[in-house]
Amino acid sequence: MDIGKRLYFVVILLALVICFIAVYESFNLQKENKDVNISNILQKAREQSTNLQVTDVLMPIEEESEETFKFTLPAAKGEQESIPTAQTFIKEDSLQIPQAPKGFFAKLTNNYVIFRERFDITQDLTDFIDNIHGNFVLDIIPFSLNSEFKRLFLMLFRTRQNFTKYTLRPEWSQAATDVKSGSIYLMEGTSFKPVFIHELTHIYFDGFFQPSEPPLWLSEGYAVYNQVKVQSTEENGWIQKNIITLSQKNYINFEEFNNVRNLEQYSQDEVELWYTQAYSIVKFLIEKDKDSFYQFSKNLKSNMTIGKALYRAYGMPFNTLKALEYAWQAKIQQEVKKGNYYG
């Protein structure tokens, strides 16, 4: 083969190599741009989720007035000790919008049957609720993995009087939950998101223990723990105030604390201190080791005594409530000295 033909083949080969490199680089650039676009979309979605204000979709709480609709409660059978449940209104497998009580609007979503007092249920509202729900369910895995609910029931109230009449809750209550039926009853207002997350915790965390129940302090402590994470510093002011009180050894001893079954006899100040103690103990256990907290909960579900459940999950020295009390108190005093008022 002469030199001219050899040179011709070399040029052709180089051209093919250059074309291959160009195509390869173009593919990588497209992939990189696609990845960047996906990242941008995800980031934008996160920012929209973070910046979405409750007041954009939820009306502020109204005080009772002469114009406010009063609806009739269902007839009570004897002394009604628990709130009416969603089963009064819906069937679990129903795909139809249920008939709401007079004065309420109704809407069916992928995750909820929603009743709302006096105002229509907008797409912005359902998107907002579904966004909170989806993120929260992921946050509390593995507790949410075993949920059997296809849809939850959410009833939104505009007036304190109607909420209190319907749920039979104390005056200080903003929400109520029936775990067995997957029903949540909420007052609308600017604190909606943290209170909603508090109640969702009861649905999924307390539901994890079904057919039994967790200790009240564990249930409420974990609910407040999740609630505090989405509240502002101003909204958490009551936590800060009560953490200081707890660090001064003004708290309920753990044996008594573990046996509390309801808070209806307490004043609002006493309730806030009790909730703060429950929150700070749960926070202590989770920060000690998150996997151990799950194991501790699982142990309690299997009917272990609380001392045995602690020991099997955390090991020594956590073999009694008293041991937990000493360790928690030492930690809380240490944190307050550092200026950390969230236990």
Kindly report, residue by residue over 83-124, the tens digit of the pLDDT: 444 444 444 455 567 788 888 999 999 899 999 999 999 999
Give the CATH number of the domain where residue 204 resides.
Answer: 3.40.30
Q: pLDDT grade, residue 16 (50/70/90)?
A: low
Specify the higher pLDDT residue, 233 or 66: 233
pTM, two decimal places: 0.73
Q: How many domains does one find in the chain?
A: 2
pLDDT for position 97: 74
Specify the higher pLDDT residue, 1 or 150: 150
The pLDDT tens digits for 304-323 are 999 999 999 999 999 999 99
DSSP 75: P
Structural domain includes residue 73 = no
Same domain, 145 and 247: no
Q: How far is CA 238 from the centre of its chain?
A: 19
Residues 6+ apart with CB under 8 A from 310: 296, 318, 319, 320, 321, 323, 324
Structural domain includes residue 8 = no
The Cα angle at residue 95 between residues 92 and 99, in degrees rounded to 5? 80
Of the spans 11-15, 160-164, 173-177, 248-252, which averages the highest pLDDT?
A: 248-252
- Complete DSSP assignment for 112-138: EEEEEESS---HHHHHHHHHHHHHHHH
Q: Which of 186, 213, 240 is the last residue of a domain?
A: 213
Average pLDDT, the chain: 78
The pLDDT tens digits for 254-264 are 998 999 998 87
CB 71, CB 102: distance < 8 Å: yes
Structural domain includes residue 308 = yes
Rounded distance, CA 198 to CA 65, Å?
A: 29
Same domain, 229 and 209: no
Structural domain includes residue 33 = no
* Nearest CA-CA partner of 85 in 128, 161, 149, 159: 149
Q: Is residue 274 scored above 70 in pLDDT? A: yes
Q: Is residue 17 scored above 90 in pLDDT? A: no
Specify the higher pLDDT residue, 287 or 10: 287
pLDDT for position 137: 94
Same domain, 123 and 238: no
Rounded distance, CA 63 to CA 60, Å?
A: 10
Same domain, 224 and 302: yes
Same domain, 221 and 205: no
pLDDT for position 23: 43
Q: Is residue 29 scored above 60 in pLDDT? A: no
Residue 185: phi and psi, rounded to 5, are: -120, 120
Residues 6+ apart with CB under 8 A from 293: 282, 285, 286, 313
Same domain, 234 and 330: yes
pLDDT for position 34: 35
Structure tokens at 116: 């709302």
Q: pLDDT grade, residue 25 (50/70/90)?
A: very low
Same domain, 132 and 220: no
Q: pLDDT grade, residue 126 (50/70/90)?
A: very high
Rounded distance, CA 275 to CA 222, Å?
A: 10
Range of the domain at 169: 55-61+83-213
pLDDT for position 99: 80
Same domain, 207 and 241: no
Structural domain includes residue 21 = no
Same domain, 335 and 226: yes
pLDDT for position 83: 47
The pLDDT tens digits for 163-205 are 988 888 877 788 999 999 999 999 998 688 999 999 999 999 9
Same domain, 291 and 335: yes
